[in-house]
Structure 1
Amino acid sequence: MCFHDGQHTTAVFRRRGTMVGVSVFQTLRHAFAPADPNAIRVPVVLHAPAGLPPITLRTMSADDEDEWNEVRWGNDAWLKPWESGDPMHGPGITFNQWLAMQRRNEDRGAGVVLLIEYRMRIVGQISIGAITYGAMRTGVVGYWVAQDHAGLGIAPAALAMLADWAIGDPTGPRLHRLEIAILPDNARSLAVVRKVGARHEGLRPFYMYVAGRWRSHETFSLLAEDMGEGFAARLAARPATRRSGPEPPDTPSPNAVNVPPLSYS
């Protein structure tokens, strides 16, 4: 999996307890704030086309807290070796504060976090962070899928669907390039980008802070020039055995999930 965020921070949740809702004042201020021309239109709901695993990508809400916690922290040991973090991060925040941060990022067009649902259950997450507009129009992708759903073709499908929306869909941010940075020994995530047809751009030395040290990463990209009939359509046209195997199970690549330090008390 590719697991980091655009701010190179990591989730450090404590258990639920100090949860507070968004105030009426904050809600009204948000409603009447001037719109940013780069704002991401939400809610985002993307359904897999025929030929891919029956997944849905959608924006997160407060109602997802318990299920998300169960899945994410139930897979902590599976994800932790690949999880990036900010070596100088501050105090943790609550789930509600993280959601508020997601809404602000969407409003500014800075990033978006989407849940991956399979048969109406949360099984992972995919995001775009560190979005840059102007002459670059690029963003950094990260994703993770629960261990018990590895090898089903879910991660490649989610990546292809996200790329179609972010690059080619008029409701998306209309980016030109998506970047995926992967640790060289993360065979599962390397399998994901191969299946989707990402370009290999080379090794970036000491590119990201992962598991307590700066690590070099293999960098891949999905470009508007490579979209053709669509990344998801091209993936769906591959033989089923090439979408989900015999390569390593296609899951973790924690490298862009917009998850700052989160804390539960």
Structure 2
Amino acid sequence: MHGGFITFNQWIQRQRRNEQHGVGALFAIEYQMRIVGQISLGAISYGSMRTGVVGYWVDQCYAGHGFAPMAVALLADWALTDPFGPVLHRLEIAILPDNARSLAVVRKVGAHHEGLRERYMYVNGQWRDHVTFALLAEDAGQGFANRLASQNLQ
């Protein structure tokens, strides 16, 4: 479905269905009663993989203020260690190589660099390479959000 459009109601129905089936979750990033971004966990695979794919965006007016790193850290804590979350083993984040802000996000959160995936995702009408990173359950320690917050205090 390259370039196919769905309505807002269809999108909401898709998100609800994904959550009901345990294959995706979507969260708003809220600041002062405004939605300033979104973070999602999709393509959840259970069984021997226990993995999911993270995606996020932050409104350009709020970019660079720490919303994305904290959202990724909180999502990772929930998805990897919270007994009420999906309790996955790994989360994957794929980033366009020229997206400096997202590359800074994964560095701040402590994601492992895994490599380049050629023509990995269809973006703006073409297949684009992406750099991939992973967050692993065994690296959570006292929590990704706690670690990020302590870094911000230093």
* Shorter-chain TM-score tier: over 0.9
Among candidates 17, 20, 25, match of residue 112 of structure 1? 25
Among candidates 216, 225, 228, match of residue 129 of structure 2? 216
* TM-superposed deviation, 1:99: 1.2
Letter in 1 for 2:145: A
Among candidates 112, 120, 140, match of residue 53 of structure 2? 140
Q: Is structure 2 residue 138 aligned with structure 1 residue 225?
A: yes
Within 2, Cα distance between the matches of 1:239 and 1:114? 23
Contact 2:64 2:101 in 1 (8 A): no
**Structure 1: 4+ residue segments shifted above 6 A:** none
* TM-superposed deviation, 1:168: 0.6
Matched with 2:9 is 96
Contact 2:116 2:132 in 1 (8 A): yes
Matched with 2:92 is 179
Matched with 2:63 is 150
Within 2, Cα distance between the matches of 1:211 and 1:201? 24
Q: Is structure 2 residue 112 aligned with structure 1 residue 199?
A: yes
Contact 2:15 2:26 in 1 (8 A): yes
Among candidates 12, 23, 40, match of residue 127 of structure 1? 40
Per chain length, whose mean CA-contact separation is higher, i.e. which structure has more relative contact order (CA < 8 Å, sep 6+)?
A: 1
Contact 2:51 2:89 in 1 (8 A): yes
Letter in 2 for 1:213: Q
Matched with 1:168 is 81
The unaligned stretches of length 5 or more in structure 2 are: none
Matched with 1:28 is none
* TM-superposed deviation, 1:239: 3.4
Q: Which has the larger radius of gyration?
A: 1
Q: Give the TM-score taking structure 1 as reference length.
A: 0.56
Could you list the per-position Cα deviations for residues 147-182 of structure 1 after superposition, in whole angstroms to 9, with x for gaps in the alignment?
111111110000000000011111111111100000
Letter in 1 for 2:127: W
Within 1, Cα distance between the matches of 2:19 and 2:149? 29
* TM-superposed deviation, 1:240: 4.7
Q: Is structure 2 residue 113 aligned with structure 1 residue 189?
A: no
SS at match of 1:191: helix
Q: How many residues align?
A: 154
Q: Give the TM-score taking structure 2 as reference length.
A: 0.95
Answer 1 or 2: which has greater strand percent: 2
* TM-superposed deviation, 1:136: 0.2
Letter in 2 for 1:170: P
Within 2, Cα distance between the matches of 1:115 and 1:109? 18
Within 2, Cα distance between the matches of 1:147 and 1:122? 12
Letter in 1 for 2:17: R
Could you list the per-position Cα deviations for residues 24-82 of structure 1 after superposition, in whole angstroms to 9, with x for gaps in the alignment?
xxxxxxxxxxxxxxxxxxxxxxxxxxxxxxxxxxxxxxxxxxxxxxxxxxxxxxxxxxx
Within 1, Cα distance between the matches of 2:84 and 2:152? 30
The unaligned stretches of length 5 or more in structure 1 are: 1-85, 242-265
Letter in 2 for 1:101: R
Identity %: 70
